[in-house]
Structure 1
Amino acid sequence: MKRYISFLLAVLMLVTLVPTAAFADAAETDMKASDNLKLLIKGWEGLRLTAYKAHPSEEYWTIGYGHYASDIYEGMEITLEQADAYFEQDIVGFERGVNNTAKKYGLSLTQNQFDALVSLAYNFGPNWVDYNTGWRLARYIQQGFKDSYGNPVSDLELADSFAVLCSAGGEILPGLVKRRINEAEIFLYNNYSTELTHFVAGVFNANGGTVSGNRVVAYYKDKAYGSFPNVSRDGYKLDYWKDSGTGQAVTTSTIADKTRTLVAVWAGGATPEPTTYKLTVSGGEGSGSYTVGAKIKLVPSANGTKIFDHWEVTGATASKGSDGYWYITMPASDVTAVAVWKDGCLFGDNCPSKNFADVPVTYWAHNDIDNVVSAGMFKGLTETNFGINVAMDRAMLVTVLYRLDGSPDVSEYENRFSDVSSSQYCYDALLWGSHNNISNGYADGTFAPNETLTREQLVTFLHRYANYKGYNTDVYADIGGYADAQQVSSFARESMCWAIGAGIINGTSSTTLSPKGSAVRSQVAVMFNRFAGGMTF
């Protein structure tokens, strides 16, 4: 299974660095991945609760922490708990694959060596060693980490055999370069920290020429490079190598203090070296010198408990790709991009959701839930559970609108519904809603308070409430471009156009509205936050 990786998070862990022996005594039972490794893999993979394709050539969709399977489909959404379950399900298969490999080739692995190979299997599949004998690392594993002459493989050579496994579709991915070096340090030195201590990588860009050998080479950190791969280009002579980020010349005597991309600078030839312009990225990956028209992915770094919000770009325009990342197309001028984060909780120590175990500060809708709870629109299902993944029912929605209106007195209003009684928590809200023509119920005289709320009912109730309050509802969008637009009921069509146009609700994908689909409480909280913050008179 060919996998491509996207990176949203970095996991920082400080551990004591202890060089390990080549192999440990054989384990009596099958080994399991450590918690340290699981945290690292989750950080490398990144968490995506909506299905995406990490690369256009992929056959299937991916979701969660890199879960790639035939039953994942476009527009699919999962919860954090489901993502964790997928991850634990996946890791078992990769553990089994590495255990089988160890048995097949007679290897006795330490925990850190086992973990490094499980991480590789997470990218390449549980049986990658058997099917990729052209890879040096696969051969070394098959040969008990010895070369073809029976000599132990040196640490640097082993790290180099990790480092080269970092491309997708012929493209070298910077995040994978870092991951491979990290895995090598886990394997050799038990270093689970993302702060690398022994190795860095050189990524060689031949700039119109050809690299003889590997384009990625591992080097000892804080030592001179010593050597570079040979490069050639018809009609040209290599002048020097330069750092893609700083533009400064780099020689074999330069200290390899960090992983960097080295670009060949050529002399001679009929065509001058392409003009490049500098992109400076603060708070993420993507810095370098690029030619006009180059498309560069901006990848935000982790920033403690803060949540990435947006990029502030000067000199160009950033656009969001289908993979969820932002991209810049390089103009004929220098560009700067600064990552902007928002606090994990805008309320600080007074967080309205702090007692809800299912709304941690890292949850994608945390701040929206804070706002609607603080405003009194939403309450938890219990004191410790907001119910983020509980489907909203019709009565819940009208109750929230009733609270938003200040919970006015309804003692003079008539109960028009045969299935609503004064003993129900939603009684006052439903009387208020029917009296003000916001929630009129069904033709048979029922309201069906416990019936799951559909997306088209949701926007209809919101639209009626906005008109009842006298808000400006003149913003409409054409929904004809959605494939399922004809599935929107006639009573809800105007309301759906308004909600899309006002930015209160989005399609479930770029081509679908899912009008008959349901919405969970966290999603509705986000919509209410947009609604309450965006309405004007």
Structure 2
Amino acid sequence: MTKDPTLKPYQLRQLMCNSAQDICSKGYDEESGWGIVDLHGAMEQLEANYGEQLPFNDVAMDAYYVNAVNWALKNGITGGSTSTTFSPDMTCTRGQTVTFLWRAMGCPEPRISANPFADVVENDYFCKAVLWAVERGVTSGTSDTTFSPNAVCSEVQIITFLWRGLNCPDALGRSELAAGLGEHYYTDAVAWADTNGFFSVTQSSFNPMGEGIRAKIVTYLYQSLGRRQL
């Protein structure tokens, strides 16, 4: 806080997560969390990042997603759409969404090797992410033999994928927004997201069937992982 008094609590938590020393599986795992807190490593990372500017000319420094984009870039979750643009309003496909989530979770190796989807091949960038997502119960195929990786994800699908990837955590309280949606596969996921402040952070009203965009998915990932306790 002396180095950068503008840091918020979730940013401090994320800094500790990113700089922790792994002691079990690479990245986060249920047995050891993110690892052992490394104060020296956290300070080194803060020093390296202090005052650094993003390379994207379409990400304003006061945009709600600027910290999330910076985090996603530094953690290899996604790069820009070009070397100088992030394209925050570009829609995300099913293949991209599960890949972002898979990378944020530390790129775990899927245990299943049999690929049931004709539209997912081994050299696709999203192949392992898709197998992991299906194995983890994050999502299934659009049919027994297709995943439809190029289909655009709705915002509610993105939130549901993330919620399932984090083992379906409980909401922090009652969500009037979710209560007004009725009973759907995504109701509990929306309640969790709402009570964790996702929609207030993105400064927008929630549209279940609205198309999910890059700015929001990296923000949702950043918010949920930043809130994890060591």
Normalising by structure 2, what TM-score?
Answer: 0.68
Q: C-alpha deviations, 1:359-406, integer Å up to 9, x for none?
A: 243444222211221122222222222221111221111101111122
Change (3 A) 1:507 1:491: farther
Paired residue for 1:440, among 127, 140, 144?
A: 140
Say if 1:413 and 1:432, in contact at 8 Å, map to a contact too: no
Indicate the residue corresponding to 1:59 in structure 2.
none
Instruction: Report how far residue 427 of structure 1 moved.
Output: 1.1
CA distance in 1, matches of 2:180, 2:117: 32
* Pair 1:350-2:52 in alignment: yes
Instruction: Report how far residue 411 of structure 1 moved.
Output: 7.4
Change (3 A) 1:508 1:386: closer
* Pair 1:532-2:228 in alignment: no
Instruction: Report how far residue 433 of structure 1 moved.
Output: 1.0
Show the 5 A alignment for 1:58-69: none
* Pair 1:474-2:176 in alignment: no
Paired residue for 2:69, among 365, 369, 385?
A: 369
Paired residue for 1:422, among 88, 106, 122?
A: 122
* Pair 1:395-2:110 in alignment: no
For structure 2, list consecutive stretches of 5 or more residues without a partner in the other structure: 1-5, 9-47
Say if 1:455 and 1:514, in contact at 8 Å, map to a contact too: yes
Q: C-alpha deviations, 1:256-279, integer Å up to 9, x for none?
A: xxxxxxxxxxxxxxxxxxxxxxxx
CA distance in 2, matches of 1:509, 1:375: 24
CA distance in 1, matches of 2:210, 2:108: 31
Change (3 A) 1:452 1:506: farther
Higher relative contact order (CA 8 A, sep 6+): 2
> Structure 1 or 2: larger helix share?
2
Paired residue for 1:386, among 63, 83, 86?
A: 86
CA distance in 1, matches of 2:212, 2:223: 15
Q: Secondary structure at the match of 2:198?
A: coil
* Pair 1:521-2:214 in alignment: yes
CA distance in 2, matches of 1:423, 1:440: 20
Paired residue for 1:494, among 180, 188, 193?
A: 188
Say if 1:368 and 1:526, in contact at 8 Å, map to a contact too: yes
Q: Which has the larger radius of gyration?
A: 1
CA distance in 1, matches of 2:108, 2:178: 39
> Structure 1 or 2: larger strand share?
1
Instruction: Report how far residue 467 of structure 1 moved.
Output: 0.9
Normalising by structure 1, what TM-score?
Answer: 0.31
Q: Secondary structure at the match of 1:367?
A: helix
Say if 2:87 and 2:214, in contact at 8 Å, map to a contact too: yes
For 1:478, the aligned partner's letter is: R
Computed over aligned residues only, the root mean square deviation of the Cα atoms, in angstroms, reads: 3.1
| Number of aligned residues | 185
Q: Secondary structure at the match of 1:467?
A: coil
Show the 5 A alignment for 1:181-192: none
Q: C-alpha deviations, 1:275-310, integer Å up to 9, x for none?
A: xxxxxxxxxxxxxxxxxxxxxxxxxxxxxxxx9x9x
For 1:425, the aligned partner's letter is: Y
Show the 5 A alignment for 1:328-343: none
Show the 5 A alignment for 1:82-97: none
Change (3 A) 1:446 1:400: same
CA distance in 2, matches of 1:523, 1:442: 23
Instruction: Report how far residue 444 of structure 1 moved.
Output: 4.3
Among all aligned residue pairs of Structure 1 and Structure 2, give the percentage whose two residues are the same amino acid: 25
For structure 1, list consecutive stretches of 5 or more residues without a partner in the other structure: 1-306, 310-345
Q: Secondary structure at the match of 1:424?
A: coil
For 2:49, the aligned partner's letter is: F
CA distance in 2, matches of 1:508, 1:526: 7
CA distance in 2, matches of 1:455, 1:464: 14
CA distance in 2, matches of 1:484, 1:475: 15
Say if 2:64 and 2:203, in contact at 8 Å, map to a contact too: no
Change (3 A) 1:443 1:493: farther
Instruction: Report how far residue 477 of structure 1 moved.
Output: 4.3
* Pair 1:452-2:145 in alignment: no
Say if 1:476 and 1:499, in contact at 8 Å, map to a contact too: no
Paired residue for 2:181, among 478, 485, 490?
A: 485
Instruction: Report how far residue 348 of structure 1 moved.
Output: 3.7
Show the 5 A alignment for 1:192-341: none
Q: C-alpha deviations, 1:469-492, integer Å up to 9, x for none?
A: xxxx23344344579624xx7211
Show the 5 A alignment for 1:32-51: none
